[in-house]
Amino acid sequence: MHPTTSTPPPAGLPGAAEARAQALHWLTQADPQAKVSGVQALWQRVQADAAAGRPWVDPVAALTPPPQRPLPGRPLRPVLIEPGAVPARSPFTPEGHAALVHALCHIEFNAINLALDAVWRFAGMPDAFYRDWLRVAAEEALHFSLLREHLRTLHGPDGQRWDYGDFEAHDGLWTMCDRTAHDIVARMALVPRTLEARGLDATPLIQAKLRRAGTPAAQRTCAILDLILRDEVGHVAIGNRWYHWLCDQRGLEPLAHFRQLVRLHRAPRPKPPLNTEARLRAGFSAAELDYLTQTVA
């Protein structure tokens, strides 16, 4: 188990019975380490309260982000640029490898925010929904910590060491979060089971390049990605499960509605090759995989 630090919830926040309010608080936290520690502490408290049979979430509270704290909270760096302007990241040079690890780190930081946003924003869901996404947030926080610690060990020929924020990044994940803020069905369809599912396809390709690089640092990155891929299958499965649950509740045909949402929100198509085995484990049906296979870019 990777060691993590934990901090108590900040003074003035409600107790664990109002975990959604705390999720909103940590979503607006800009400091990465404070966000990581707070999310992990919240998840530990929620688990303890649930195990003890104590109320831990108010599913119907209407929450409002504090006006003085941006949504989402994030540091001033990395500088965010258009996705197409982010340079290619080759693992075959020290700086390229660091840039690749930084890009992965940024994805995981955004993934913490995406999970927290699902918890506070969407009221009236079953307790299991909030528990699922708080667990996802805690696991994404672990992924971010592992990658950031690894990034800090990397250095170039001049001895320069890197940290999160040292390379430019893009905001594609949060852009889709904004587009689906008004519709929980669209959020489940287009964030976990579309954008995050692309990571299931991309990770083996990245790992293949890292193995060709063959350095100890590349091997460490590859090992971290093994853990992340294992967890991300579960995260995409959570998105799939709640998407299908919501479709069932609302009388929607899942595949037909998914196609409609993709068109409406201009969701990106998957890039070949699809990781069919991982997607099946994450709950995609054969019909969904057939559709995705026909639409790959």
DSSP string, 193-252: IIITHHHHHHHHHHHHHHHHH--HHHHHHHHHHHHHHHHHHHHHHHHHHHHHHHHHHHT-
Report whether pLDDT(144) > 70. Answer: yes
pLDDT given for residue 5 in this prediction: 34
The structure tokens listed for 233 are: 């299958």
Report whether pLDDT(221) > 70. Answer: yes
> How far from 257 is each of 34, 129, 188, 250, 276, CA to CA, in Å?
39, 21, 12, 11, 22
Give the residue with greater pLDDT, 66 vs 255: 255
Q: 253 phi and psi, to 5 degrees?
A: -80, 120
The structure tokens listed for 114 are: 């995406």
The structure tokens listed for 252 are: 């929607």
Could you tell me if residue 62 is inside a domain? no
Report the 10 Å Cβ neighbour count for 233.
Answer: 20
pLDDT given for residue 16 in this prediction: 52
The structure tokens listed for 105 are: 């780190």
Contacts of 262 (CB under 8 A, 6+ apart): 189, 190, 194
Report whether pLDDT(143) > 70. Answer: yes
Distance CA 181, CA 288 (A): 24
pLDDT given for residue 160 in this prediction: 82
Could you tell me if residue 274 is inside a domain? yes
In angstroms, how far is CA 83 from the centroid of its own chain?
17
**Into how many domains does the chain fold?**
1
Distance CA 18, CA 23 (A): 9
Could you tell me if residue 40 is inside a domain? no
pLDDT given for residue 159 in this prediction: 81
Lowest mean pLDDT among 84-93, 213-222, 255-264, 274-283: 84-93
Report whether pLDDT(219) > 70. Answer: yes
Q: Supply the pTM of this predicted model.
A: 0.92
Structure-derived torsion over alpha carbons of residues 168, 170, 171, 176, reported in degrees to the nearest 10: -170
Could you tell me if residue 279 is inside a domain? yes
Q: Any idea what the CATH number is for the domain that residue 208 is in?
A: 1.20.1260
Sign (positive or negative) of CA dihedral 284, 104, 227, 47:
negative
pLDDT given for residue 10 in this prediction: 47
Distance CA 21, CA 64 (A): 9
Could you tell me if residue 71 is inside a domain? no
Tell me which residue range forms the domain holding 232. Answer: 82-295
> Which stretches within 154-183 are classed as H helix?
172-179
Report the 10 Å Cβ neighbour count for 273.
Answer: 11
Give the residue with greater pLDDT, 160 vs 211: 211
Could you tell me if residue 20 is inside a domain? no
pLDDT given for residue 2 in this prediction: 32
pLDDT given for residue 68 in this prediction: 83
Could you tell me if residue 88 is inside a domain? yes
Could you tell me if residue 146 is inside a domain? yes
Whether 281 contacts 237, CB under 8 Å: yes
